[in-house]
Amino acid sequence: KNEVEQSPQNLTAQEGEFITINCSYSVGISALHWLQQHPGGGIVSLFMLSSGKKKHGRLIATINIQEKHSSLHITASHPRDSAVYICAVAKNNNDMRFGAGTRLTVKP
């Protein structure tokens, strides 16, 4: 079983819809990252969380340390949000593990 599980694997939405991507992990962590990978392959960091909730524009990330679960929400989705979203956890020994990614397609 992977240490980091993401769901769904693929997600198609209509422009304007509210989107949720989930990440569950099974190891002790010091931080959790949400990353975005665009079709061209480049990877950018969206959020780094160790507790609570963070918001950047239309993106919101939450984490529940007790339940070992994090969610990434996108409000008022737009076609430019189409990308692969990746959950990554920094383990307590500085090692990192990644989810397989969620491929999001937002249709106009």
Partner 1 sequence: NAGVTQTPKFRVLKTGQSMTLLCAQDMNHEYMYWYRQDPGMGLRLIHYSVGEGTTAKGEVPDGYNVSRLKKQNFLLGLESAAPSQTSVYFCASSYLVRSGELFFGEGSRLTVL
Give whole-number Cα distances, 83 to 9, 41, 44, 93, 100, in Å. Answer: 12, 9, 11, 30, 13
In this complex, which beta carbon is closest to partner 1, that of residue 17 or of residue 90? 90
Size of the site for partner 1 (CB under 8 A): 22
Q: Is 75 in the site for partner 1 (CB under 8 A)?
A: no
In this complex, which beta carbon is closest to partner 1, that of residue 76 or of residue 96? 96
**Spatial contact of 48 and 89, defined as CB atoms under 8 Å apart:** no
CB of 41 to partner 1, least distance (A): 5
In this complex, which beta carbon is closest to partner 1, that of residue 52 or of residue 79? 52
In this complex, which beta carbon is closest to partner 1, that of residue 73 or of residue 97? 97
Which position among 13, 21, 23, 33 is part of the footprint of partner 1 (CB under 8 A)?
33
The tokens describing 43, both together, are: 């990877």
Q: Is 70 in the site for partner 1 (CB under 8 A)?
A: no
Of the candidates 17, 8, 14, the one whose C-alpha atom is nearest the C-alpha of residue 106 is: 14
Using CB under 8 A, list all residues that contact partner 1: 30-31, 33, 35, 41-45, 48, 50, 86, 88, 90, 94-101
